[in-house]
Amino acid sequence: MANATAEIGDGIQIGKTKIRNNLFCAPLAGYTDFAFRRLCYSFGAGLCFTEMVSAKGLRFNNAATRALLYKAADEPQTAAQIFGNDPAVMRAACESEDLKDFEIVDINMGCPVPKVYKNGEGSALLGDMPLAEKIIAACKKSGKAVTVKFRIGLEKGKIVAAEFAKMCAGAGADMITVHGRTRDMYYAGEPDFGAIAAAKRAVDIPVIANGGIFTREDAQKMLRETGADGVMIARAAMYDPHVFAEISGEGTEWDRRAAIEAQIADMLPFYGEKFTVVQMRKMAAFYIRGMRGCAQWRSRLFACDTLAALRETLCEIFSGAEQ
């Protein structure tokens, strides 16, 4: 039975896997690679997810798709998130060599972007509950722990959170994550606490609440208003991966320069210099938000086309910050 009075830091059981706490890092396309996940874990995230991975891409041995599943040898328990609309293909992905190191597979049924939605994937499955049920049941046959991330509905006035949650549990899902916005809201507007709470009341499996969580106060309010068992942090982690320590109350300061250098060191051997520079100038631009002159520094960062130039600019940024 899921805990109806969860507190920040409580552990969560997902299938046979015990997760150390209930602060999860959302799957973020273009961001949650193994180096970023390592940083989030170091700051106290209980569970991180890979970027959203196409089951069809894995079926056709797409190299770029497979690279999204790279996992460091010493990485803590991580969940792989996959998407698709064919139950057989989704089960095959779960049973593939690509996912052999993942005990938990998360099914994306909430992505709102048009290219996913128009293919009948992601949030489109909110409008086809029988197919969604078949997908979950098929993935469960793989023997993996299966979780589902979904939105509360396709549009305002047509909220299906509780009904969809009950279907997920009935199909065998071990946990659900409910994003408290409809598909047409994308990432704007206040999450609907009531809809998440209704989903929580409908099932006996753990429910993770997602949407609009940036601070410890946000997380506490989400747990209090919804009765959820944990929270999933998305954009706040992208902007500031130290947010997990801040929400847990375990720390308020972090060495941004050291964090950037750690990510560079992790990424360089796997991705090479070109990709590492492009990715880390983007990440560094997020991490320096709020610093004096950050707008000008961002322009300088995005002009860097070599690792040497990036490091030189970072040195100037943080030397200035220390003065």
Q: Are 260 and 273 in contact (CB under 8 A)?
A: no
Q: Which long-range contacts (CB under 8 A, 24 or more apart) does 285-292 make?
A: 286/238, 286/239, 286/240, 287/239, 287/240, 287/256, 287/259, 287/260, 288/256, 288/317, 289/239, 289/240, 291/317, 291/321, 292/320, 292/321
For 15-46, b/e burial (b = at least 16 CB within 10 A) is beeebbbbbbbbbbeebbbbbbbbbbbbbbbb
Tally of CA atoms within 13 A in the half-sphere of 231 that contains its CB: 33
Q: What residues form DSSP beta bridges with 109?
A: 150
Using CA atoms, how far apart are residues 110 and 132, in angstroms rounded to an integer?
A: 11
Q: Is 111 a catalytic residue?
A: yes
Residue with tokens 């299938």: 15
| Element spanning 263, H or E | helix 256-271
Structure tokens at 241: 């991966």
Token pair, residue 323, equals 């003065």
Residue 199 identity: A
Residue from 25, 40, 111, 139 carrying the catalytic annotation: 111
Residue type, 144: K
Question: How is residue 98 annotated by DSSP?
Answer: G
Residues serving a catalytic function are: 111
